[in-house]
Amino acid sequence: MTGTAPPQGQPRRQGGTRPRTALPIVNAFGPPAPRSAPLRTRPPRSRRLRIALVRHHDLCLNTRQINAVQRRAGVLPHLGLGYIHTALKKAGFGNVVQIDTPAMGLDGEGLRRLLADYRPDLVGVTTTTPGLPGAIEACRAAKSTGARVILGGSHTEVYDRENLYHACIDYVGVGEGVTIMPALAEALEHGDEPEDIPGLISRTYDGGAAPMVNLEDVGWPEREGLPVDRFFSIMAPRPFATMISSRGCPFKCSFCFKQAVDRRSMYRSPDDVVGEMAHLRERWGVKEIMFYDDVFTLHRGRVFEICEQIHDKGLKVRWEAPTRVDLVPGKLLSAMSGAGCVRLRFGIEHGDPEILRRMRKESNLEKIEDAVTSAHLAGIKGFGYFIVGWLRESREQFRRTVDLACRLPLDYASFYTATPLPGTPLHEECVADGAIPGDYWDSFVQGQFTRRIGYLVQGAEARAREAYRSFFLRREMVRPLLTHMAVTGQWRNTASGLLSLARSDSNTVRDF
Ligand code: B12
Ligand code: SF4
């Protein structure tokens, strides 16, 4: 599948639907640098700069998931930081640590103390937009140690220089950290103020758009030094790991936020993908691998080859991946099942045809039933992603989603509440409709972290809770759930999640 790469030199926020308000930041930007692709991998020399890469957010105010589920879903590794770590190592920076506070069980003060001990020169903090409150806390902790601080991640592709409103942030990285971080570290190593670094923004400088990078050119994400045994998913036996084999998706679902890199499909070769799978099995004894791709089966031929290589190498590892209902032909499903694929996560989203159309999903109920049934017959368990509380969703439309979820041969389901993320067509529609204020995210970015963005229909959260209960707390689920717990060993999490769903008062999204 081909994606649509933004043409050279195009501004970052194409199609950005976020209403702009003037923010109190005065910057003198130079002319944007041309887009080139300098992955700075000079021969490694030992460089002394001390660098910390931080993920410090877990549950967040604007999560789309109810608390009872989000809290137990797991602690999943952050691959972006792992890739940045690898790129820094390749550029000769040996003093790099990754700090994953949800995995390490650290709060803000714990993070501050850890950073104070490590005394980094440069701290890179990653964030999504909803995860910003935690990220700002991390930036403050980092700044208090005297380090230079850079913020990056999906969030900075929709809000970039606006983040400089926070005095604890020196730089914002927009796009590929694997090119931005080595270049910034190199400049700081020599005591220079950074210049000519595509993707880097400071209060006095704007480096223009960062180049895209195929992750295969970077190498595998660094996992050494991470508390690998602390990561888990409620879906998988331990130890488990995550990987990404492709990036990008040419579809345009209206709730989905598109980073520049998502508009172009980039694939790693089957050789490289299966090589990393084998490495995870050998080095860490990993029993199950979860793919973070947007749509794993976009390029069918590549998936057939991956399956073939898994056979050829005699690799025995369970794996699972996300896909769309229109991208799983029968032959592919048999090949995947034979190669160890135990689960497919389908973006089904809704049971009402009119809402599916408004979501721009480009699917229909027939395709959904066909795909999930075919996967089931091929021996692959189905996980359905659903969204409840869509703009103007009626009670009848909502119930169609629940009925569909219960009718399909699915073993798992998640019911997110619709959340208009900035920069998405859904956001634009909701603002035009008057369902949400146009400046919510602007004030959120400036630190107004006390109020959740409004739900789009009254009682959306109750609908999510009702959907979970209807799906999981029914007789037909007893067997699949028992099998799940026996295979994955996730007894405690699964049982307490079910109990929590059964209780009516415990499923609210966390209020700050
Ligand atoms: C896997 C995944 C998850 C996983 C793991 C989280 C993670 N980030 O690894 C889980 C399931 C936990 C998750 C949760 C959520 N997610 Co999520 N997730 C993804 C997904 C599908 C892939 C991420 C990934 O691994 N990409 C590949 C790696 C290599 O790229 P990367 O991490 O983005 O890093 C690159 C750049 O961003 C940059 N970079 C990253 N960090 C830094 C730091 C610095 C300093 C610099 C300079 C650069 C930099 O450099 C990296 C490589 O060069 C993306 C969609 C996507 N296509 O990216 C959504 C996505 C990031 N998620 C999203 C959302 C909304 C959520 C949730 C809010 C959903 C919810 N439950 O309510 C939560 C929030 C979690 C949180 N606390 O913030 C949105 C974020 C939109 C936004 N405006 O920020 C995305 C973009 C999905 C979408 N299309 O709408 N997610
Ligand atoms: S939701 Fe999935 S299929 Fe739709 S645009 Fe996003 S990644 Fe692509």
Q: Does 425 map to a domain?
A: no
Q: Does 21 map to a domain?
A: no
How far is ligand 2, taken at its centre, from the CA of residue 67, in Å? 24
Question: In terms of domains, do 264 and 406 share one?
Answer: yes
Question: In terms of domains, do 403 and 464 share one?
Answer: yes
Q: Does 38 map to a domain?
A: no
For residue 322 and ligand 2, the question of a CB distance below 6 A is answered with no
How far is ligand 1, taken at its centre, from the CA of residue 153, in Å? 7
Q: Which amino acid is at 499?
A: L
**Ligand closest to the CA atom of residue 150:** 1
Do 410 and 374 contact (CB within 8 A), yes or no?
no
Distance CA 356, CA 359 (A): 5
Q: Does 271 map to a domain?
A: yes
For residue 3 and ligand 2, the question of a CB distance below 6 A is answered with no
Which residue is listed with tokens 């223009």? Answer: 208
Domain that holds residue 176: 51-206
How far is ligand 1, taken at its centre, from the CA of residue 128, in Å? 6
Please give the pLDDT value at position 57.
80
Three-state secondary-structure class, residue 338? helix
* φ, ψ for residue 456, nearest 5 deg: -90, -20
For 272-320, the DSSP string reads: HHHHHHHHHHHHH---EEEE--S-TTSSHHHHHHHHHHHHHTT---EEE
Residue segments in the chain with a per-residue pLDDT below the cut of 70: 1-46, 58-59, 504-512
Sequence-separated (6 or more) residues with CB below 8 Å from residue 248: 3, 261, 262, 263, 264, 265, 266, 294, 298
Q: Does 94 map to a domain?
A: yes
Which residue is listed with tokens 């508390």? Answer: 227
Which residue is listed with tokens 């789009």? Answer: 456
Ligand 2 atom nearest to 262, measured from its CA: 7
Please give the pLDDT value at position 59.
62
CATH no. for residue 491?
Answer: 3.80.30.20
DSSP state of 47: B
Helices (H), 4-73: 67-73
How far is ligand 2, taken at its centre, from the CA of residue 322, in Å? 10
Please give the pLDDT value at position 504.
59
Question: In terms of domains, do 302 and 193 share one?
Answer: no
Question: In terms of domains, do 199 and 242 share one?
Answer: no
How far is ligand 1, taken at its centre, from the CA of residue 295, in Å? 14
Question: In terms of domains, do 472 and 334 share one?
Answer: yes
Q: Does 46 map to a domain?
A: no
Overall number of domains in the chain: 2
Question: In terms of domains, do 188 and 300 share one?
Answer: no
Q: Does 508 map to a domain?
A: no
Q: Does 147 map to a domain?
A: yes
Per residue in 149-205, pLDDT (tens digit) is 999 999 999 999 999 999 999 999 999 999 999 999 999 999 988 988 999 999 999
For residue 258 and ligand 2, the question of a CB distance below 6 A is answered with no
Of 154, 387, 440, the one to substitute when testing ligand 1's pocket (max ligand atoms within 8 A of C-beta) is 154
Please give the pLDDT value at position 66.
85
Please give the pLDDT value at position 37.
40
Question: In terms of domains, do 376 and 320 share one?
Answer: yes
Please give the pLDDT value at position 183.
97
The domain boundary, picked from 206, 224, 251, lies at 206
Six-digit token string for 163 = 């983040």
Of 4, 247, 249, the one to substitute when testing ligand 2's pocket (max ligand atoms within 8 A of C-beta) is 249
The domain boundary, picked from 157, 190, 206, lies at 206
Distance CA 139, CA 497 (A): 33
Question: In terms of domains, do 244 and 382 share one?
Answer: yes
Which residue is listed with tokens 């926070």? Answer: 166
Question: In terms of domains, do 148 and 254 share one?
Answer: no
The domain boundary, picked from 191, 206, 221, lies at 206
CATH no. for residue 163?
Answer: 3.40.50.280
For residue 256 and ligand 2, the question of a CB distance below 6 A is answered with yes
Question: In terms of domains, do 157 and 261 share one?
Answer: no
Closest-CA residue, ligand 2 atom 2, reads 294
Question: In terms of domains, do 346 and 270 share one?
Answer: yes
The H-or-E segment that residue 343 falls in is strand 341-349
How far is ligand 1, taken at its centre, from the CA of residue 353, in Å? 29
Question: In terms of domains, do 193 and 242 share one?
Answer: no
Q: What share of the chain is helix, strand, coil (3-state, %, to 5)?
A: 40, 15, 45
